[in-house]
Structure 1
Amino acid sequence: MSEQTSAAGTSPSYGSMEGQVAVVTGGSRGIGYGIAARFRAAGADVVITARKENALRDAAERLTAEVAGPGRVLPLVAHAGDSAAADACFAEVRAELGAVTTLVNNAATNPYFGPLLGLDEARALKTVQVNQYGLVTWTRSAVEVGGLGAPDAPVGAVVNIASIGGRIVDPGIGWYNATKAAMLLLTRQLAWELGPRIRVNAIAPGVVATELAAEVVRARREVLEAQLPLRRLGTPEDIGHAALFLATELSGWMTGQAIVLDGGALALPIAVEDGATS
């Protein structure tokens, strides 16, 4: 048994990301930032992408100043639904840092809230482009341009940030949740297509206190927390810990799976009301 795969507690490298290159889409805030911070603390070179340059630069400065780690932090402006942007991003990453070892498909959008029959084409397509097609195009680019899973590279990891919304009915965000359900299916499909050189897994969070869920959190935090078995909402750090597990040999025999992190929301009795999720 190699040092990297020896039992936990017997090797200082177990769960380490030193020497690895991780790309986190939507990494300037919320869950993406929490994952990037955890990867940096574990020793990785971390690349964060987002559409807004100022927010991205500020996030990179915070990561460098507030999170100790030996690796570099590289911010790159890119749209998660743009295949050309993905190619350009991974070309720069490979030139600056070397082959990518981990991709986190975290960036998401939700421009529509309301019943499905009120959904217009423009917002429907935008949601699919980022949440669903973006997962495919960024994974493809990571492999073909970034070197993820190359024969001369370590076994790669893809971590998709889905949602428990992909498993339930939730008023107002049915279309968003449909794209998250698609992410869960695509995770299994890509695990089959990309093995054994790349492992593909997902995280399905419940309500996490981020900007994306700000309206829900402000209006209903006490109600939501009172219902959950663990009596609190999730944090970006909670998701970061799970992402580290999926990105390293801690989960070396795991692919095509989804970890649910929801404080126990899916364990609630059906009769409980007002159980909105993110």
Structure 2
Amino acid sequence: MVLLHAASGVTTAAPETTPRPPLERGIEVALAEISDLSASTAISAAAAAVIMPSLAAQLRPQIRPVSPQILAAAARPMDLSPVAPEVTLRPMMRTPELMQQVLFGRAKKRRGSVCGVLDIQGEVAGDIPGKLKGCGAKNAVRVRSVSGVALSTPALMTCDTAKALNKWVARDVETAFGRSNRVVRLRVAAHYSCRTRNNRPGAKISEHGRGRAIDISGFTLENGTTVSVLKGWLDKPTRKALRRMWKSACGPFHTVLGPESDIYHRDHFHLDTARHRSGRYCR
């Protein structure tokens, strides 16, 4: 075949124009029917002029139907008020009386704050001398409440300990039993006390004797219920919250001891800010 084609000497050139694609099958059939009809019946040019526009109209895309949303909007009464306000309502300005109460309350809170934190309410106690060697606290404060949660008794401690207590209460304690039943009071079992660890003769000075520790034995809720560490640690309704609080205290505080640490702490949380070479000590 190749030899015959070469022998013929005919060179195939590209077409001058691109061939038009074949018409769609439906159109071909229609035109064929028209051609056959013209050939068989010899219809006039006027009849063909009538058929072709009709065929073209059938091939045009149909108009999209009107959506139900547009019909519903068109049928909506004109005097019906909109669902949302047409303009954003501006909040009413606070009255001068309310502003005065807010400023007065803030000023009162500032006067009662210690350690430079508004949420730590109490009074300055100054330097506390120790009866035993190693006891005492410098620049101590007597704390009444932290983050709006009252202490059952004013607790004597350093500012570092007060700030740790405030952070723990605000972040993990206040809403430990639910936002609808907040903690409103901490039961303080011990704070500053010049003594040895666990009151054992010959033992090292406790962090309580340096103002760096506080013991919490219970939590009073808004509904008046008091959850004790001794009982609540094992009770099903409260044990998860207490264990979560105990665990979260190991962060703001450097030493955290709970009911499972030893027999001395089975009824309270011991929290202190003593620093250890090996890091935080939490049991």
TM-score normalized by the length of structure 2: 0.23
Greater share of strand residues, 1 or 2?
Answer: 2
Greater share of helix residues, 1 or 2?
Answer: 1
Q: Point out the structure with max Rg over C-alpha.
A: 2
User: Greater relative contact order: 1 or 2 (C-alpha under 8 angstroms, separation 6 or more)?
Assistant: 1
